[in-house]
Amino acid sequence: MNDWTWRYEGYDPARERLREALCTLGNGYFATRGAAPECTADGVHYPGTYAAGGYNRLTSTVAGREVENEDMVNLPNWLPLRFRAHSDGTADTAPETAWFSPDAGGLLAHEQTLDLRSGTLTRDFRCEDAAGRRIRVQQTRFLHMADPHLAVLRTVLEPENWSGLLDVESGLDGEVTNSGVARYRDLAGRHLTGVTTGIREPDTVWLHCRTTRSDIGIGMAARTTTTPQPASSRLEPGTAHTRRLLLLPAAPGRPATVDKTVALHTSRDPAVGDPLQAVLDRAGQAPPYADLLASHRRAWHELWERAELDVPGEAGRILRFHLFHVLQTLSPHTAGLDVGVPARGLHGEAYRGHVFWDELFVLPYLNLHFPEVSRALLDYRHRRLPRACRSAREAGRLGAMYPWQSAADGREETQEVHLNPRSGRWLPDHSRLQHHVGSAVAYNVWHYCEATGDTGYLQTRGAEMLTQIARFWASGAEFDPALGRYRIRGVVGPDEYHEGYPDASAPGLDDNAYTNVTAAWVLTRALEVVRALPEPRRRQLFEETGTDPGEPDRWEEVSRRLYVPFHRGVISQFEGYGELAELDWDGYRRRYGNIRRLDRILEAEGDSANRYQASKQADALMLGYLFPPAELAGIFRHLGYELDDDTWRRTVDYYLRRTSHGSTLSGLVHGWVLARVRRAEAWEFCLEALKGDVADIQGGTTEEGIHLGAMAGTLDLVQRGLTGMDPRADALVLDPAPLPELSEYCFTVRYHNHWGLAMRLSPGQLRIDVPASDEPPVRLVLPDRSVTLDPGESCTLELTEP
Ligand code: BGC
């Protein structure tokens, strides 16, 4: 193991699915789990392949009702490759030995290495068959980072104690379903139809199919070449499988090498007429293995250059691993696609590949490295703005109501019922009331534009989204004369444990502080943008969005008078939170050990999390994640509230004691917020965020897909959280709060057009290097001073303790 490689020794069937998720390879266009090519989906293995944005809808009957679910579709499996020693070493005798399988015994050693620098996954293993014949296998795969439609699998097979012939079968499997998540097993999962297969002499097999409703055509071709030439070879099309069967001579010191080059196209791809023709062309014309590997490594090298991050120690190793998976999910290829941020990467089927608010934790990182990718992800939202406007209209509101879970066309995809695996009951799911997702979209629009200086975007698509999201908030706020304030009622905040008041007949909560404060922020930003627009553009924007010229006055009014509840000197998560019962945390910990999913535990006991002051994840504290202290205090002031340091500290303490961290986002946000208030426990939470996936802290969730928000969030923690970096249109604001455990590291960012602006943090110092260019100078603003650096200049700032 070094900083760039992750090695997994041995073979542990119980942890194989976790390893598959962590060893997923992808290039932003598609991804494939790190499954063993000789295995099909069963209790141990799950060889999933997913194309970004490739969704399909199916109807299932659960708990006596029909429900629709749209899933990111598991595509045909391109991995299949199996082998065995030919029965008696001659070409014309039918083989009797079994194909090698790690689950059938005979595995002598097994090691798997994920090489982050070059984006390859290598398996090294030895096996022995029933006749005592041993084979050493080295298998390397990659999903091409320069040509995103290609994947490559090289297998080198070397007999150790015999010589003769090897049987090798290399194929494509269209007999796949979405069945990777046990909780969804009662739901329909057969998304592919019309599978046809075929062959193209001398070495290629192909498969074509469609998704049942979204009607996405999928073409896949696999060309298998070998060294030495096969003693015999046959291409065999089947109903849903197609394969090339080979007999290969091999001996100790004279291994057989099998190269499988696979092409994937779908009918969603730009500049593609017929996916089948496209894959046949692509696989047929792909260069040899060594050339493909070289161009793939070059592409990765360029990515690493644009996202340089050097953090010492174990934290640095994990951060690089996180960066690797973020880049495999959202690469520069993503910029050419119509896709959002899938909460669980392209690594598994949890949450069905849906897009939540998690982009809030991802875009601020990408803005400073791959702004073109951020912009494409914002465009995904912009294309679905009309759909969000329709949802708002149907809810009797103005503007845009973005869905809590989004997939292909932007309608609400949140399931209506979900299964509590602990009780076996299907329960109503009200998480769709998390309307705060709209503010996350607005936040990302604003911050993308600030970090990049893309005012063109802000004035066009950005302004449209901001306006419609602001209108949604303004139209949903009801004036309460008794309070003399506006209220937003019937929502759910980020903490998903609370979906309603105990024993209330309708779901939803009133005055969620996070929702209201972010809504106030959106309204203010929308006003600012609209007022700054040139008059003709403002008129046009109002016409396009149906905004009445009088509406901004209401935005102003609501932005100043939204209600934020407080109790016992702290911000209330929502109105009435302080009156809920206190949970016996110690008692539950004693009884259940792991209580992260307290909601499931309580429901299985016949109780409900709604009754308790117990939160799944950071909710009110999210405010400290999104806004630097001075900005947050400013938003409260604008609302007519005083938020001093003491109130904030008390609020942090209060929720810290009442949160079970049932989401990986929680550790991240707590680590960030505690670091900002310079608290010793910060590191504990940062570690939790770092280990979330590599140690599968939530227990069995990572195997269903990585947690992309938490992964990207940890990168942003070192980039913006600990440096207090706030990239604005006119200045790069800095306010470092390094952790003793993480006080020395460096990274580069792209701020406006300054590529490779370097930051080096060391105890008591921050050094900044602005690379030479023709760009304007960079103004750095710290709490106690400001400095302007010309391109080519550097400075070292002494940091004073606050
Ligand atoms: C969290 C949400 C998150 C979702 C997808 C849930 O467990 O509570 O905040 O958006 O996972 O990552």
C-beta separation of 350 from 344 below 8 A: yes
Is it the case that residue 568 has pLDDT exceeding 90?
yes
C-beta separation of 183 from 29 below 8 A: no
184, 112: one domain: yes
Annotated ligand binding at 357? The verdict is yes
pLDDT at residue 704, rounded to an integer: 98
Burial class (CB in 10 A: 0-12, 13-18, 19+), 591: exposed
350, 416: one domain: yes
CATH number of residue 768's parent domain: 2.60.420.10
29 lines ligand 1 (CB under 6 A): no
- Supply 451's token pair: 């970090």
682, 775: one domain: no
701 Cα: distance to centroid of ligand 1 (angstroms): 12
Domain boundary among 673, 689, 721: 721
291, 428: one domain: no
616 Cα: distance to centroid of ligand 1 (angstroms): 10
pTM for the full predicted model: 0.97
Query: Mean of the per-residue pLDDT values for the chain?
Result: 96
Contacts of 415 (CB under 8 A, 6+ apart): 67, 69, 405, 429
493 lines ligand 1 (CB under 6 A): no
Domain boundary among 675, 705, 721: 721
CATH number of residue 441's parent domain: 1.50.10.10
Rounded to an integer, what distance in angstroms lies between the CA atom of residue 147 and that of residue 294?
12
- Domain around 728: 723-802
Is it the case that residue 90 has pLDDT exceeding 60?
no
357 lines ligand 1 (CB under 6 A): yes
101, 114: one domain: yes
- Supply 782's token pair: 């710290």
596, 631: one domain: yes
Is it the case that residue 89 has pLDDT exceeding 60?
no
List, by residue number, the catalytic residues: 496
422, 488: one domain: yes
Q: How confident is the model at residue 202 (pLDDT cuts 50, 70, 90)?
A: very high
CATH number of residue 248's parent domain: 2.70.98.40
C-beta separation of 347 from 705 below 8 A: yes
| Structural domain total, the chain | 3
C-beta separation of 46 from 52 below 8 A: no
Q: How confident is the model at residue 62 (pLDDT cuts 50, 70, 90)?
A: confident
Rounded to an integer, what distance in angstroms lies between the CA atom of residue 386 and that of residue 400?
8
pLDDT at residue 93, rounded to an integer: 52
Closest ligand 1 atom, CA of 617? 8
pLDDT at residue 1, rounded to an integer: 58
Is residue 147 classed as helix, strand or coil in its secondary structure? coil
Q: What is the pLDDT of residues 691-735, one digit of tens each?
A: 999 999 989 899 999 999 999 999 999 999 999 999 999 999 999
53, 113: one domain: yes
Which of 249, 256, 61, 252 is CA-nearest to residue 157?
A: 256
pLDDT at residue 3, rounded to an integer: 84
Annotated ligand binding at 112? The verdict is no
Closest ligand 1 atom, CA of 354? 5
Annotated ligand binding at 138? The verdict is no
Domain boundary among 285, 304, 323: 304
Is it the case that residue 581 has pLDDT exceeding 60?
yes
Burial class (CB in 10 A: 0-12, 13-18, 19+), 20: buried
Which among 496, 598, 659 is the best mutation to test ligand 1's pocket, defined by most ligand atoms within 8 Å of the CB? 496
Annotated ligand binding at 617? The verdict is yes
What phi and psi values does residue 139 have, to the nearest 5 degrees? -130, 125
Task: Tell me the average pLDDT across 668-682.
Answer: 95
Rounded to an integer, what distance in angstroms lies between the CA atom of residue 359 and that of residue 342?
8
343 lines ligand 1 (CB under 6 A): yes
Q: What is the pLDDT of residues 478-516, one digit of tens each?
A: 999 999 999 999 999 999 999 999 999 999 999 999 999
155, 112: one domain: yes
Is it the case that residue 120 has pLDDT exceeding 70?
yes
Rounded to an integer, what distance in angstroms lies between the CA atom of residue 583 and that of residue 644?
28
Rounded to an integer, what distance in angstroms lies between the CA atom of residue 195 and that of residue 568?
63
131, 258: one domain: yes
Q: What is the pLDDT of residues 278-314, one digit of tens each?
A: 999 999 999 999 999 999 999 999 999 999 999 999 9
The secondary structure of 279-343 as a DSSP string is HHHHHHHPPPHHHHHHHHHHHHHHHHHHT-EE--HHHHHHHHHHHHHHHHHS-GGGGGS----BT
Which among 181, 358, 706 is the best mutation to test ligand 1's pocket, defined by most ligand atoms within 8 Å of the CB? 358
676, 740: one domain: no
Task: Tell me the average pLDDT across 31-37.
Answer: 98
716, 728: one domain: no
Is it the case that residue 630 has pLDDT exceeding 60?
yes
The secondary structure of 16-58 as a DSSP string is HHHHHHHT-EE-SSEEE----TT--SSSS----EEETT-EEEE
Closest ligand 1 atom, CA of 351? 5
pLDDT at residue 65, rounded to an integer: 87
